[in-house]
Amino acid sequence: MERQETIHSTSKEALRSRISIQRSSLFILFCLFLFLSTVGTYLIYSKYSNYTVSALSRREAIASLAAVTLKERTDRVIDVGISLATRVQFQKLIEAGKWDEAIKVMERVPKDFPYIERVALFDPQGIFEAVTPLTPELSTIIGQDFSYRDYYQGVSKNWEPYVAEAIKPAVPLGYNLVPVAVPITSGSGERLGILLLNIKLDTITAWSKSINVGPAAFVYIVDRKGHLLMHPTLLPAEDIVDFSSVPSVQKVLKGERGIEITWNPIENEERVTAYEPISEHGWGVIVAQPTKSAFMERDRVVRSDVILWILIIITLETVTFLLLRNKNTMKMQLEKEKALTAMVESANKELKTLNESVSAEAERKLKEKVLQLETLNQNMMGRELKMIELKKEAQDLRTQLGEHA
């Protein structure tokens, strides 16, 4: 019974030890997983944030570059206009009212400067006086008042060069124009008229194509009224398209610059939109790109890092598990050996006790047997002595009977 209790107690201790080892191993594996997951998540999130900021910064830089490029091209047109308007001979002809002769001075301008589609002259009140190259359709509107046009109102406000809003020509030309108005003044500061340089919207589109905006990205440009000057879907001959209701256009027309991620319900996609104003001319440049393309590099790197960290976690968890299993196996083996040793010691103890018990019982029985033998021996010796005495008495009786006979 004692041996069974000892074996049962040893088995329970071994079971408790095994459960404790398993719990310790699971806890170590969980802590390792938590640590690696935390470190991996932090590093991946940091890289995710850095790549996101970098991608957004590139979009802002592209919008800024586009704005600078367009401003430089437009300023070049203004510089050409100022150079032409300050020619002494040209000013004298205008001052003398010789508009036809004055326009002849400008005949080579569209050839020398291909980005200038047409040159027109107006008097200080906005009356259309001359144009080159002249077409039959344009000759029919010479002498008309165009003071209602934005280009006249803009240049006459302070009598400074003015980049006007996009317009449809007064006569159909098959394309729309952006007028650049330059005041013509005499040496004494007298206002003589207005020199109008017209730029085709196609020219602005060509300017924007020199800007590398990235895959699937595009640029569109709006004038001071929010009308499209350039857009990938804009056709040269169609009506002026109003984009003033677009949130990013509203912001850029207020002189704001920035970048935001917006949802395009028409094309059902999320876009990164960067906007930059050209404050001197009232224009705005907007660069748009689907987020999938804008963050392509970020997503690729993060995806690779996630896979890498998953492999690292699995590898380290596996190695740790194998090491712990080997350690636990050795520990459990030692526990088993310890339990077995205890069982052997217990069995030896019981055997010793049993031997001692058996020896004592045998000795007692032996003593009883010896005692019985001694008693029997004494009894037998007594009988022999009694027989001798009886024989002696019988002899004595025979002797006495012989004598009497």
Q: In this structure, is residue 79 part of a structural domain?
A: yes
Is residue 320 in a domain? no
User: At 269, which helix (H) or strand (E)?
Assistant: strand 269-278
- For residues 246 and 169, membership in a common domain is answered with no
Collect the ranges in the chain with pLDDT lower than 70. Answer: 1-22, 236-237, 266-267, 327-333, 335, 339, 347, 351, 354-360, 362, 370, 376-377, 379-385, 402-405
Question: Are residue 103 and residue 160 in the same domain, yes or no?
Answer: yes
DSSP state of 240: P
Residues 184 and 95 in one domain: yes
The structure's pTM equals 0.69
How does pLDDT run across 355-368, given as a tens digit for each residue? Answer: 666 666 767 777 77
Structural domain contains residue 84:
yes
Same domain as 94, residue 183:
yes
Q: Examine the domain organization and report whether 193 and 233 are in the same domain.
A: no
Measure the CA–CA gap between 283 and 281, rounded to whole angstroms.
Answer: 5
CA distance 28 to 196: 81
Helix (H, G, I), strand (E, B) or coil at 146: coil
Distance of alpha carbon 162 from alpha carbon 156, whole angstroms:
9
- State which residues form the domain around 79: 75-200
The domain tally of the chain equals 2
Segment 85-109, tens digit of pLDDT: 999 899 999 999 999 999 999 999 9
- Residues 94, 188: one domain? yes
Last residue of a domain, one of 253, 275, 296: 296
Respond yes or no on whether the N-terminal peptide bond of residue 110 is cis (omega within 30° of 0). no
Specify whether 135 is located in the same domain as 240: no
DSSP string, 46-66: HHHHHHHHHHHHHHHHHHHHH
Looking at the domain assignment, is residue 49 inside a domain? no
Both 169 and 234 in a single domain? Answer: no
Domain co-membership, 79 together with 160: yes
Q: Look up the CATH number of the domain holding residue 244.
A: 3.30.450.20
The pLDDT value given to residue 129: 94
Same domain, 215 and 114: no
Residue-wise pLDDT tens digits, 61-73: 989 998 998 999 9
Choosing from 148, 174, 200, the residue where a domain stops is 200
- Identify the domain boundary among 296, 315, 342: 296
- Domain for residue 19, yes or no? no
Same domain flag for 125 and 192? yes
- Verify that 79 and 67 share a domain, yes or no: no
Separation between Cα atoms, residue 26 and residue 20, nearest integer Å:
10
| 318: in domain | no
pLDDT at 342: 72
The three-class DSSP label of residue 249 is helix
